[in-house]
A and B are shown apart, each in its own frame.
Chain A
Amino acid sequence: MKQQYDIVIVGGGPAGLAAAVAAYDSGAKDVLILERDEQLGGILNQCIHNGFGLHTFKEELTGPEYADRFIKQVFERKIEYKLNTMVMDISQDRVVTAMNREDGMFQIDAKAVILAMGCRERPRGALNIPGYRPAGIFSAGTAQRLVNIEGYMPGKEVVILGSGDIGLIMARRMTLEGAKVKLVAELMPYSGGLKRNIVQCLDDFGIPLRLSHTVVDIEGKEHITAVTIAEVGADRRPIKGTEERYTCDTLLLSCGLIPENELSTAAGVQLSPVTGGPVVNESLETNIPGVFACGNVLHVHDLVDYVSEEAAKAGETAARFVRGEIAADGGREIALKAESGVRYTVPVTVHPDRVADKVTVRFRVGDVYKDAFVSVYFDGERVQHKKKRVIAPGEMEQIVLTRKQLDENPDLKTITVKIEDN
């Protein structure tokens, strides 16, 4: 087998697929996708609900249908891929070590590497929920796989902790399968999921969402039999006397997603403590030249459409890197800062010389804001002030910077994104 590729893409989910197609279309024909699962498409394969692709294709698709659009494009371009293949290591000089049953363990020299490994769910252990450790506790995505791929139900009486999108989707899915979903408890005073999912998955089925509530005890020695939930105060600690006990045979957890960056860390990629994803520049390039990142491994997205868009950008810039069009010295560098309510920005630096026409800056906020403004400052000067009816942590926001704008401000050092009341 070939031991050198221009671009190796780690992960064949929505990010990896879109990156591969864009890299190919930008002139990099020598691309290899390494996918650990038995099919391309990643987690979309178990997302059998609809609502995907409204932005990209202007129609509502299911997860597998959305993935299929990109898989077809990969096939049409005859882009190479390997399934059931786990990447074991990525070195600083972009040697990718991977393994599967047929090829054994092998190494590939890549001119560029695109990280597209996605994310994982925060497990129970990381949440410090006291109580027993019986069967019947699942992260929502694991339950989704059991129900949608394996065709088995974990139980009939369900409590869900966390109002992340997968939890909301599973509330509906389990209900449609005949289970009784008793409630969704959310630690924060707001939901971590999309508004449309709260309406379509909870409200439409009469499933209560209890904000500022958490699970304080789990009962059941072999299998879960009940949980106790309690209200939490502003310090997010349970308030004594507010406990309520719910019998259940299933507890689903949808308490946040964590970009899966073990390979990146081992390669020396610098991570953001806020997103858990790599720190990248306008080209979605990490601190290691030629190593790019996109999708949920970079920061957790709300909609797959934005993953595809971002990944296409990574694919395109990786192709330019391979052609030597992205100089190691990017020239003038502008820092991006997240302030007052903005938790982070992706990217965190911009080299105007490397920006073709525009750069999309994505971010999330740390609280719910109503009738507030998204403001952009070029050093001290406010250059953008856009009113929004609602800005919520569950939804990703973005601003667009144009090359023209950047060129018109040759002394610009820092771009600050913030939320302002007026």
Chain B
Amino acid sequence: MYDIIIIGAGVVGCAVARELTKYHARVLVIEKNEDVCSGTSKANSAIVHSGYDAKNGTLMAKFNVLGNRMMGDVCKELDVPFDRIGSLTVCDDEALLPELEKLRERGERNGVEGLRVLNREELLELEPHIADGIVGALYAPTAGIVCPFKLTIAFAENAAVNGAEFLFDTEVKKVYSEDGVWRVATDSQEFTASAVVNAAGVYSDVFNNMVSQRKLHITPRRGDYILLDRSAGGYVKHTIFQLPTKLGKGVLVTPTVHGNTIVGPTAFDIEDKEATATTAEGLDSVIAKSAMSVKGLPVRQVITAFAGLRAHEDGHEFVLGEPDDAPGFFNCAGVESPGLTAAPAIGVHIAGLIKEKLGLQENESFVAERKDILDPKKLSIEERNELIKREPAYGTIVCRCESVTEGEILDAIRRPVGARSLDGVKRRTRAGMGRCQAGFCSPKVMEILRRELGVDLTEVTKSGGGSYIVNARTKDGE
């Protein structure tokens, strides 16, 4: 019997898990994929919104602004890359300039600080590559960029260190309550708990609708992105949004915390909750639309394209807390943009509700700090040599594009909630995330995973499940 079962190990599920370990509680996180951060949390814009966009009085507005304010401290505590670079929402139509003022006012009512409308000259000082047609922008200095993988992984690791359990490759099939106890049936076994947290992303309507008559309907809204090489880094210094026009919402162009540039997303409403395939139409439109705000963007330096699914609820609002007909079942549903920003605040809010409900006691031995995988690039040559003497694996470069050492990869696999696949290693260390896209390092990382996990090479996967990489010996190898 658990106190709380959390369905879904995305950024919201992991944030709630971490907050709950601040109390004495048995927490289990169940995830259908093989790792944390395998759904919406892994494929998004990786930005921390300031909070001017959400309508006044909505949960989206409230948790966006709260999450934005928390992000600096959370990322410091958990050693997650975060940079408050500011955002610019640009406008290419004189007639629409009053809209920028309206957004500023809306933002101020939401509690966003430092908003300013800039004219073209002021804008050019901040961003020299802004497109010729841009006439003004809303500047939001509190906006930022974060590594969504690292944030999710850090929440999970810290939760695990503080006692939360994680169960991967396990799909929840049924949730129901019986005699005041919540029962969570998976494809392998059934668990019981006093409370259930529904943090299932695009599936959050499915679980809500199993237990409540207050039906939800989530539409997976696909967003295609392209990612540019670090050699194109620094082309823009802020997150550049486009002011929505009659023609649509536009795309953003933003640096990432790792120095790449990300461009996207599109917005296609689809049915299939797993359909993360990009389309030529989507990728073309991303590139075409980026030219509205930024000129001369080196789009030929694309190193990868991907698509993510936003969990768009019909009401376009976060659905947080217990439905009135399902006490003890806590929704974190409809968490689409600005969900990544809001996650830390949603974690605190939901954990607070559960604490009240279950009467949880404070966990005095809670360890708040977590250190990320050591990045030897940040060390001096002397420090690095001491490290290599102690741990020779830090002297071997495995991923040449991102200069990732074997030491970092071993750490990624061995730490709590560690990596078990190529993608798991990639998200934790960036091995394979560079310009060759794992061409050179994947055989090496496969070998390290094989050794560390004690499996055959045919059992090493890209991302769990049926994503094997090799499936048989060669004739000579047999």
Contact = CB atoms under 8 A, between A and B. Distances in A.
A222 B400 contact: no
Given A152-B473, A154-B469, A105 B381 contact: yes
Contacts of A241: none
A153 B473 contact: yes
B439 A121 contact: yes
B474 A151 contact: yes
Given A100-B395, A120-B440, A125-B437, A130 B282 contact: yes
Interface in B41-85: none
Interface residues of B, number: 57
Contacts of A132: 276-277
Interface string A164-190: 000000000000011000000000000
Contacts of A84: 396
Contacts of B280: 128, 130, 216, 238
A125 B282 contact: no
A212 to B, nearest CB: 17
Nearest to B406: A101
B468 A149 contact: no
Contact of B305 (A128, A136, A217): A128
Contact of B443 (A126, A130, A149): A149
A113 to B, nearest CB: 18
A221 interface: yes
Contacts, number: 151
Given A105-B388, A152-B472, A142 B439 contact: yes
* Chief secondary structure at chain A's binding surface: mixed
A102 interface: yes
A99 B397 contact: yes
Interface string A128-172: 101111111001011001110111111110000000000000000
Contact of A154 (B283, B384, B403, B471): B471
Contacts of B98: none
Interface string B450-477: 0000000110011111111111111111
A150 B443 contact: yes
Interface in B248-288: 274, 276-280, 282-283
A223 interface: yes
B180 interface: no
B463 A222 contact: yes
B279 A130 contact: yes
B457 A105 contact: no
B283 A101 contact: no
The 5 closest A-B pairs by CB, nearest first: A151-B477, A125-B304, A123-B437, A152-B470, A104-B385
23 contacts: A86-B397, A88-B403, A102-B392, A102-B395, A107-B381, A123-B435, A123-B439, A126-B302, A130-B305, A132-B277, A135-B461, A141-B439, A150-B443, A152-B477, A154-B469, A154-B471, A155-B471, A156-B471, A156-B472, A217-B277, A222-B466, A222-B467, A249-B471
